[in-house]
Copies of this chain bind each other. A is one copy, B any other.
């Protein structure tokens, strides 16, 4: 029985960065998130793929113990094609083919409904809300989204936000969502809706945590080699929910540590395309970089 449920996309990505081009590689928010979560807890995915979804991609997820019984198979797999310029900070989309994702109605396997840790990775907020309402004991719910939903489905997004425990937004999304350049104000708006934490992701600059009584600044890891930042935000969210599920606590200390582990996983993810770096990752690698985070912030 999965401990962590991840709702999100499974995709075939075609990506060009200054360091190469790769076609039809495994991508999608649920792929990165579940893979990252699997280092700390047992994840199950709610998603959809097409009949063309390659068997090796499926095996890559199953080999980590990820439960795919909530993944429907219909039509063609969702595809995304994009590129990064030299600064690597922002993906430029060349093409999006929704395919089977366009008509996605999630089906939640019975054993999934008891899980207490849910990551609503980036997808349509109406679908997020639908899944959340079917969960029996959603103790910790992390919500991610993107600019498209803020612009086109803000009301639905507000509804999910009210039910979330932790809301993830990147800095641009936070400013857009609450029409303010001020990240502190945006975070307070999130908290006023109900969540006990707002996390503002700032890419290479790290992430900020805001709770009612305190704020925390998780540093970015100064990577020397970045091959492909795709999925770093999803990796962050997945590792976060996985670590919280493992820790079984929502104390300030726990969530700060979880953010550092999430930053560790996200920093590794950027070092290669798709899940290639995470596939080689060991717990020793994770601990070693965690300690580097400790050293680079002592003063």
Chain B residue at minimal CB-CB distance from A205: B205
Is A185 interfacial (CB 8 A cutoff)?
A: yes
Check if B260 sits within 8 Å of A185, measured CB to CB: no
Give the distance to chain B from A179, nearest Cβ to Cβ, in Å.
10
Q: With a CB–CB cut-off of 8 A, which chain B residues contact A297?
A: 216-217, 219, 297
The contact of A181 among B86, B220, B296, by CB within 8 Å, is B86
B183 touches A296 (CB 8 A): no
Query: How many of A's residues come within 8 Å of B, CB to CB?
Result: 34
Chain A, 76-90, contact with B by CB distance < 8 Å: what is the 0/1 string?
Answer: 000000000011100
How long is the Cα–Cα vector from A273 to B223 in the complex, in angstroms? 36
Are A183 and B222 in contact (CB-based, < 8 A)? yes
Contacts A88-B181, A182-B224, A222-B184; is A299 near B205 (CB within 8 Å)? no
Copies of this chain, how many?
Answer: 2
A23 at the interface (CB under 8 A from B): no
* Chain B neighbourhood of A296, CB < 8 A: 214-217
B222 adjacent to A259 (CB under 8 Å):
no
Q: Which residues in B have their C-beta under 8 angstroms from that of A226?
A: 182
Chain B residues with CB under 8 Å of A224's CB are 182, 184-185
CB of A252, distance to nearest CB on chain B (Å): 9
A256 within 8 A of B: yes
Which residues of the partner chain B approach A214 to less than 8 Å between Cβ atoms?
Answer: 295-296
What residues make up the interface of A, taking CB atoms closer than 8 Å to B? Answer: 86-88, 181-185, 202, 205-206, 208, 214-220, 222-224, 226, 253, 256-257, 259-260, 294-299
Q: List 16 A-B contacts (CB under 8 A).
A: A86-B181, A87-B181, A88-B181, A182-B224, A184-B224, A206-B219, A214-B295, A216-B298, A216-B299, A217-B220, A217-B297, A219-B297, A256-B298, A260-B299, A294-B299, A297-B297
